Structure 1
């Protein structure tokens, strides 16, 4: 029998005290290529599903030595709206996000500062903890260096990024409106909700996606292509469920590959029928009530 494949493991899936160095990367497409800078981090905690990382406040023009790294404290974030929060976060044990030229430098006992900052992560969901990918360490080092030494250029790059996001959001809104204008019930039920679902933390597990797909289709069938307003109100969970596809997909974790959302209601055709309404007007609590009610009936 062939051995079962193991999921890729995080390169930092080692014991607390391990120190790593890495080459930083440009922050934005408009940033100068090849930063020529290096940063470092330490593994300061380990839980069943996460690794806790602390980023050092040193920046080097070459790969640092272990002794050079140990001279530094935990980096404090002060760029843009940050107010000094320490650069400590948890990442998944299966997060394989690459850091350029990641190099193990050895181990060292945790400092009192590192031990204190890692302590909240021992209890899942503790106040003040944060979860990200390893790429955040890169952004922390490079972002803080540029905030201190190249702030004006960094601000211009950020403005350009925000403008591109604004234009992309407007284009997506137009695509969404055009899609709803011609969407039929037959097309809706033939589509796959949550098609861009990603099975890695912090996104929901596969069982959640399968249950959500069943409930979205069930809600659409209950509403039907000619639902009158009272029936539409009772089954409006179908519209709210579409909001999960449109608005609840961090990092593109949910949605459809063409950039639009799947799972929204089309316009109905009978006189007096409920029109397709913007799902953003509906609240998450209402969605929870609809989903929970259907779960109890299942």
Structure 2
């Protein structure tokens, strides 16, 4: 790899855009991209006027690892300007200074996730970056896998946190209030649904139907397998009878969660917040129909996602 980067650097000086690189090329180790950031939420101004940058620090057959940098510019930066920046550390809200490094599946990668995306050059990853990429590929504790859109969340979110915190926090409160109102309405509908829910109804419905398109949702084959597993669990519990033993229900539910743990790991960590909520909500419904609703509270102890 050292020869590869050495040859590239001999071909063009710092800050020059290599003529043979195109933003549509497959992401490659060392590629540095700039992009126009997008609003952090629907309550922010529609245009930011800010440019940020990130570097590809690792790739495999199905995944890439990116490092978001802390530079913010009013125009797309040159490679020389990028090299003056450092890896971004996240402090907004509940973050505690972790570096903005995360993996994303290649099948999720799309240039359409970014505004004005361009390659500004090639910069060899540092030893630290290469080590962080290896940790991510190994699913080490603390490593993250997320949608490419998290590049924007990190860059724009941190700039707002450090420069417009009061307005940023106000927008977050508005977003929280909206989410709580939606959650309350959902809870009311859910309570009404539970009182009439049966195994036959669960088997007639199509769980995870909202998991599309992919990306950002999990691949279709993952959703299909998850759906089949839920049907299998419902049929198994229905066959036990109208009043199954708590131990039997726990065993079946725990086995279902174990299946999701393994499937998520094999898929590269595709279960994110929305998917987690959907799965947990469905397991809660299953526990309710099985007449042991309290078992849904144990799911968090079993799951890895």
User: TM-score, normalised to structure 2's length?
Assistant: 0.72
Separation in 2, partners of 1:110, 1:236: 47
| CA distance, structure 2, for counterparts of residue 172 and residue 240 of structure 1 | 26
* TM-superposed deviation, 1:284: 5.9
1:80 and 1:255 mapped to 2: Cα distance? Answer: 21
Q: Once the 2 structures are TM-superposed, how far is the Cα of residue 177 of structure 1 from its aligned partner? A: 0.8
Aligned pair partner of 2:123 in 87, 92, 108: 108
Matches within 5 A, 1:125-274: 125-197=139-211, 203=218, 205=222, 208-224=225-241, 227-228=242-243, 230=245, 234-235=248-249, 250-253=272-275, 261=282, 264-265=285-286
Maintained 8 Å contact 2:207/2:227: no
Gaps of 5+ in 2: 1-22, 259-263, 265-270
- The structure in which a higher percent of residues are helix is 2
What stretches of structure 1 of length at least 5 have no aligned partner?
1-9, 269-273, 289-298
Which of 69, 87, 93 is matched with 1:74 structurally? 87
Q: 2:67 matched to 1:51?
A: no
Instruction: Say whether residues 1:281 and 2:302 are aligned partners.
Output: no
Offset at residue 76 of structure 1 (A): 1.2
Distance 1:36 1:133 in 2: 23
After superposition, the CA RMSD in angstroms is: 3.5
Any idea what the Cα deviations from partners look like across 1:38-78, whole Å, max 9, x if unmatched?
Answer: 00011011122210101111101111112211221111112
**SS of residue in 1 equivalent to 2:107:** coil
**In structure 1, distance between residues paired with 2:50 and 2:302:** 49
* Secondary structure, counterpart of 1:32 in structure 2: coil
Inter-partner Cα distance in structure 2 for 1:178 and 1:112: 56
Aligned length in residues: 264
- The structure having more radius of gyration, on CA atoms, is 1
| Structure 1 position 34, deviation (Å) | 0.3
Taking a change above 3 Å as real, the CA distance of residues 285 and 75 of structure 1, as seen in their structure-2 partners, is closer
Q: Distance in 1 between matches of 2:299 and 2:122?
A: 49
Aligned to 2:261: none
After TM superposition, give the deviation of residue 107 of structure 1 in Å: 1.1
Contact 1:77–1:144 (8 Å) recurs in 2: yes
The structural deviation recorded for 1:210 is: 5.0
TM-score by length of 1: 0.74
Following the alignment from structure 1 to structure 2, what is the Cα–Cα distance between the partners of residues 113 and 253?
32
